[in-house]
Amino acid sequence: MAFNDSTESAGPAMPRWETIVFDAAGAADFAPASALDALEADVARAARSLETRECPGADRLGWLDPEAACPAAERAAIREEAERARADCDAYVVIGIGGSYLGARAVREALRGHADGPELFFAGTGLHAGATARLLRDLRDRDVRVCAISKSGTTLEPALALRFWREFLERKYGRAGAARRITAVTDAHRGALRALAVAAGWRVFAVPDDVGGRFSVLTPVGLLPLAVAGLDIDALVAGATSMRQACREPRLRDNPAHFYAAHRHVLGARGFRTEILSAFCEDLRWLQEWWKQLFGESEGQRGRGLFPAAATMTADLHSLGQYIQDGPRDLFETFLCARETAPALRVPAVEFPADPEADDGLGALAGRSLDAINALAWEGVRQAHVAGGVPCLELTLDRLDPRTVGGLIHFFEKAVAVSGLLLGVNPFEQPGVEAYKREVSRLLGRR
């Protein structure tokens, strides 16, 4: 394990995993070393209960070992299916909601520069008729395939969407042609979607029995759409596997996910009840959305948990910036920053009219990379927010590539598992979600 440089005033050295550094110097005055030290035994106990499968939700821990969650042979089958899709479609519609689509969308958006396959579209994420009609219309002249993702096949939004897209394909390609263009990712043994897929002759991939939806991005749930998009799914899994090893370090300060979880717990106990994931990279916006589900659904139980919010910088500095800087001191920030996204993009030198009022005052930045300027902006924001009483954590990515993003996914999954156990909740269930589903089903008259 290597570490970034740190001074005594900034607190102890922070964990680094390959291309990701976790830095908590901006929270040192709010989460002192003594509070973290006092929590170390509890963190170790929570982590040990995960490894020994003795924690609440022990039957949902398949994600802990990324290689086992989607072995090499299954990834090979996924790549074969992806090649078939890439050969005859330019639009791939992923039907799913929550964990059935957020992970794939997050990774696809974060790695746009690495994707060379058909464009991914997402359906079944809501009940808005206008959005459904527009997508059906926009793709009517495209070569389309559909991937239906649902553990049960009865979740309202994706089940309705599948009806529309099945009809769309059957009108366009005929019943037999449509059957060749639909793939299901569903329960390995039972459920409405599996029964329908088997009866209709669709290709089927299984959701692992021991992996819940919001932890499923590195299983066929996320890897199949990502392979179709042209991304290196083996590198994603390899990055997650490497991060898993880093996140098994026993000492708190050597373990990036545990150190992050400990800071969140200490800050929450001290009244900082909202965490804002502030990304200085627009390509990470959907990863923020995935993070919100992962942490909100895992922790928000029995009146406990931090509220997960997100801001995309620097745009949101011009809308939420005032509130973060001067509003109630009940929030903290975790900055998610990518150092290199397009290093060759440099500020052009331009000539201005003789009138000095027409000069934008940015001549000194000519020739500098926009990524470097963005890095200075986030450092300025961090300093201003810390000075304003906002604890600030940082996750800095050297670059955005499949291995790094795979590592980041496992980092957050391990962190939320430990964090939820520290709160005394089962981070692998979501009883509140089931409550709203029951009420909606009652109103719809569903059996």
H-helix or E-strand spanning residue 344: none
Q: Rounded to 5 degrees, what angle do the CA atoms 39, 21, 265 make?
A: 25
Q: 109-123, 143-157, 243-257, 340-354: lowest mean pLDDT where?
A: 340-354
Which DSSP string corresponds to 411-443? Answer: HHHHHHHHHHHHHTS-TT--HHHHHHHHHHHHH
Class of domain 62-231: alpha beta
CA dist., res. 335 & res. 266, Å (int): 18
Residue ranges per domain, the chain? 2-55+238-348+364-428, 62-231
Task: Give residue-wise pLDDT tens across range 15-64.
Answer: 778 999 999 999 999 999 999 999 999 999 999 999 999 999 999 999 99
318 given a catalytic annotation = yes
The answer, yes or no, to whether the previous bond of 314 is cis (omega within 30 of 0) is yes
Q: Which of 141, 144, 143, 184 is nearest to 162 (CA)?
A: 184
Closest among 211, 181, 207 to 194, alpha carbons compared: 207
The number of angstroms, rounded, from the C-alpha of 56 to the middle of its chain's C-alpha atoms is: 23
Q: Which two tokens stand for residue 103?
A: 């992970």
Amino acid at 361: G
Q: Taking Cα atoms as reference points, which of 69, 70, 66, 67 lies closest to residue 78?
A: 70
Catalytic one of 114, 172, 292, 437: 437
H-state helical runs in 214-368 = 220-228, 233-246, 256-269, 285-299, 321-326
The two domains 2-55+238-348+364-428 and 62-231 share their CATH topology (first three levels equal): yes
Catalytic residue among 318, 351, 434, 439: 318
Query: How high is the pLDDT of residue 213?
Result: 94
Q: What is the mean pLDDT of residues 381-391?
A: 95
CA angle, 104 as apex, 100 and 109 as ends, to 5°?
145
Q: Decide if pLDDT at 5 tops 70.
A: no
Q: Which of 329, 132, 108 is nearest to 224 (CA)?
A: 108
User: What pLDDT, in 10s, does the model give residues 262-272?
Assistant: 999 999 999 99
Architecture (CATH level 2) of domain 2-55+238-348+364-428:
3-Layer(aba) Sandwich (3.40)
Q: Is 439 among the residues known to form the active site?
A: no
Active site residue 437: yes
pLDDT at 363: 80
Residue 104 CB coordination number (10 Å): 29
Selecting among 81, 157, 297, 299, the annotated active-site residue is 297
What number of residues does the chain have?
Answer: 447
